[in-house]
Amino acid sequence: MLNNYDNAFYERRRLLIESLRRRGNLSEEVLDAMLKLPREKFLDSSFHFRAYEDTALPIDANQTISQPYTVAYMTTLLDVKKGGKVLEIGTGSGYQACILALLGAKVYTIERIPELVEKARKVFKEFGLKINTRVGDGTIGWSEFAPYQGIIVTAAAPDVPDSLMEQLALGGRLVVPVGTKSYQSMYLIERKSEKDYNKSSTDSFKFVPLIGKEGWKTG
Ligand code: SAH
């Protein structure tokens, strides 16, 4: 379990979380979850020494683990409720999914690259976190378990995928970076009723592309 990780990285992690807290507007609950989760466990050993820099870092298959500030920001926007169902598109290293699980969400996460899912599953198991994983195209969501109180897309979309809007519960929130391949705004979409959605956005983020039926056609 997580608490048994008493390691040399704790002090660096604490300093990173402190610096995020000073930026303001981030949920304390989210920052607490990030304080519990050892980010180096999601990285190759050659990157362990950089685990507590506030930057995105490379993982396998040319993908990245998101910047800690971005994880804190998106998770704050998502406003996860204990026991709520949350769908993540883009499992990557599995770090974001673990944060959602630590906040008490029932997590469903989809990744298109099988080797990343395999690795993430091992980490989930090591931490004793129950997270539902699937290899596939997340742009069309995961209809079997819909609707979701929260949907978080951790790759850059050209537009908001319709399927994800449809799979949002009433009162639910969808957080997705939308824009070009080199620059995105963060959209927060709240489902107010069957047909009404509120949309707000903030600049400026940089994600790897969301590739699929309702995403980019190629990387
Ligand atoms: N949330 C991750 C960050 C992953 S980077 C973390 O915490 O580490 C974005 C991921 O989205 C990449 O692994 C990429 O392969 C994946 N991705 C891109 N398009 C996708 C799609 N259509 N469906 C599922 N995953 C996708």
Is residue 216, in this structure, part of any structural domain at all?
no
Res. 4: pLDDT tops 90: no
Distance between Cα 153 and ligand 1 center (Å): 8
Burial environment of residue 112 by CB neighbours within 10 A (0 to 12, 13 to 18, 19 or more): buried
Tokens 């008490």: give the residue: 104
What's the pLDDT score for residue 6? 57
Residues 202-213 as b or e (16 or more Cβ within 10 Å = b): eeebebbbbbbe
Q: Which of 30, 37, 63 best tests ligand 1's pocket when mutated (most atoms within 8 Å of CB)?
A: 63
Q: Model-level pTM?
A: 0.96
Domain ranges, residue 184: 56-205
Atom from ligand 1 closest to the CA of residue 109:
24
Residue whose CA is at the smallest distance from ligand 1 atom 17 = 90
Using alpha carbons, list the distances in angstroms from residue 32 to 21, 27, 76: 10, 9, 12
> pLDDT tier at 82 (50, 70, 90 boundaries)?
very high
Domain count, the chain: 1
Q: What is the average per-residue pLDDT within 78-87?
A: 97
Residue type, 146: A
Query: In the predicted model, is pLDDT for residue 219 greater than 90?
Result: no
Q: What is the pLDDT of residues 38-71, one digit of tens each?
A: 999 999 999 999 999 999 999 999 999 999 999 9
Atom of ligand 1 nearest to the CA of 116: 13
Residue 196: the pLDDT is 98
What pLDDT score was predicted for residue 40?
96
The DSSP bridge pattern shows strands 85-89 and 106-111 to be parallel
Ligand 1 atom with minimal separation from the 93 CA: 8
Question: What is the mean predicted confidence (pLDDT) over 4-16?
Answer: 83
27 domain residue, yes or no: no
Residues tagged active-site: 66
What gap in Å lies between CA 76 and CA 49, rounded to an integer?
A: 27
Domain for residue 91, yes or no? Answer: yes
185 lies in a domain? yes
DSSP string over 155-166: SBBSS--HHHHH
91 C-alpha to center of ligand 1: Å? Answer: 5
Q: Is residue 84 part of a domain?
A: yes
- How much is the pLDDT for 171? 97
pLDDT of residue 191: 98
* 210 in a structural domain: no
pLDDT tens track for 148-199: 999 999 999 999 999 999 999 999 999 999 999 999 999 999 999 999 999 9
Q: What is the pLDDT of residues 110-148, one digit of tens each?
A: 999 999 999 999 999 999 999 999 999 999 999 999 999
Q: Residue 146 sits in a domain of what CATH number?
A: 3.40.50.150
pLDDT of residue 204: 86
Lining residues, ligand 1, CB within 6 Å = 63-66, 89-90, 92-93, 95-96, 110-113, 116, 137-139, 154-155, 208, 210-212, 215
Q: Is residue 212 situated within a structural domain?
A: no
Q: How many angstroms does the Cα of residue 63 sit away from the middle of ligand 1?
A: 7
Residue 108 lies in a domain: yes
